[in-house]
Amino acid sequence: MAHVFSVEIHDYLSEKILLAEQGIKTAEDENDEASRLYYEGQLLELKTLRQYLTDNIDLKTQKYYKE
């Protein structure tokens, strides 16, 4: 059975990543450079956190999110 907290954390990260990606698309459509940079920074932080969890915390026998 997958570690329950890791599943919840990855679900949260997946939701935030999706919102950041949508924010980037909206900012590009509206030609809003400041917002695009904000969402790109947020996306980088979220993906860095996800990679840290994958490398150091998550069980190696489980996949916690879909790409």
Counting Cα atoms < 13 Å in the Cβ hemisphere of 60 gives 2
- Among 50, 39, 45, 42, CA closest to 9: 50
Other CB atoms within 10 Å distance of the CB of residue 48: 10
Give me the tens of pLDDT residue by residue for the chain, a chain 67 residues long. Answer: 457 888 899 999 999 999 999 999 999 999 999 999 999 999 999 999 999 998 988 878 777 777 7
User: Contact 63/6 with Cβ under 8 angstroms?
Assistant: no
CA distance 27 to 9: 27
CA distance 46 to 24: 14
